[in-house]
Amino acid sequence: MPQGRLFVVAGPSGAGKGTLIKELLSRYPQAWLSVSTTTRKPRSGEKHGVQYHFITEEEFRDMARGGAFLEWEEVHGNMYGTPLEMVKEKRSQGKDVILEIDVKGAGQVRSREPEAVAIFVQPPSIEILEERLRGRATEGEEELQERLSNALKESLEKDDFDYVVLNDDLDRAAHKLCAIYEMESPVVKAAKKENRR
């Protein structure tokens, strides 16, 4: 059984990363989505250990100092980090690990794990991104403006990624993400080879 690979999916908040990844996970049992740790307060409906591990800033800093994160970043005023041990464990069990993180975190992962596949999810336009963020109504005006301005900055980094998936049409974008995953996953390749025997 091959070791699983790391897939980093980054892009502006509201670009549709979560929806696309959900689609990928429903099609491929070999893919596992990492649950990040954050100091952000849970939104209504969010549960500890499901969307995130919600902890205090002090706990976060202790974990960061102790080397518990593969990468961590401050995003929109809160800290977010990828727990290292879980990523290692899942990969050694033959699962491809999907990280849904911000662009700066993606850069950290790529310098630490150069064989990781880096995918940038691009919203069709800043106007549509604003519409989506307003539609989901999870942020106040100030935070929404910060997310929009970060989106512009993040879009400038997309050329550093291995792949860019334009999310103008959900079905088409999901199809592209799945095609990239199939092409790059050592686990899917091994399963296909096994089936041909």
Binding residues vs ligand 5GP (CB under 6 A): 13, 36, 40, 71, 73, 75-76, 80-82, 100-102, 105
Supply the minimum distance, in Å, between the C-beta of residue 48 and ligand 5GP: 14
CA atoms within 13 A on the CB side of 123: 23
Q: Which two tokens stand for residue 56?
A: 């205090």
Please count the CA atoms within 13 angstroms of the CA of 97 that sit on its side-chain side: 26
Q: Looking at beta carbons, which residue is closest to ligand 5GP? A: 105
* Least Cβ distance, residue 96 to ligand 5GP (angstroms): 17
CB 139 within 8 A of CB 133: yes
Of the pair 31, 101, the CB lying nearest ligand 5GP is at 101
How far apart, in whole angstroms, are the C-alpha atoms of residue 53 and residue 20? 22
Q: Which is nearer to ligand 5GP, 101 or 188 (CB)?
A: 101
**Residue closer to ligand 5GP (CB basis): 75 or 116:** 75
Rounded to whole angstroms, the Cα distance separating 152 from 1 reads 41
Beta strands 36-38; 117-122: pairing state = unpaired
Please tell me the distance from the alpha carbon of residue 175 to that of residue 185, in angstroms, as a whole number. 15
Q: C-beta of 130: minimal distance to ligand 5GP in Å?
A: 15
In the complex with ligand 5GP, the residue whose CB is nearer, 75 or 117, is 75
CB of 194 to ligand 5GP, least distance (A): 33
Complex with ligand 5GP: residue 1 or 89, whichever CB lies closer: 89
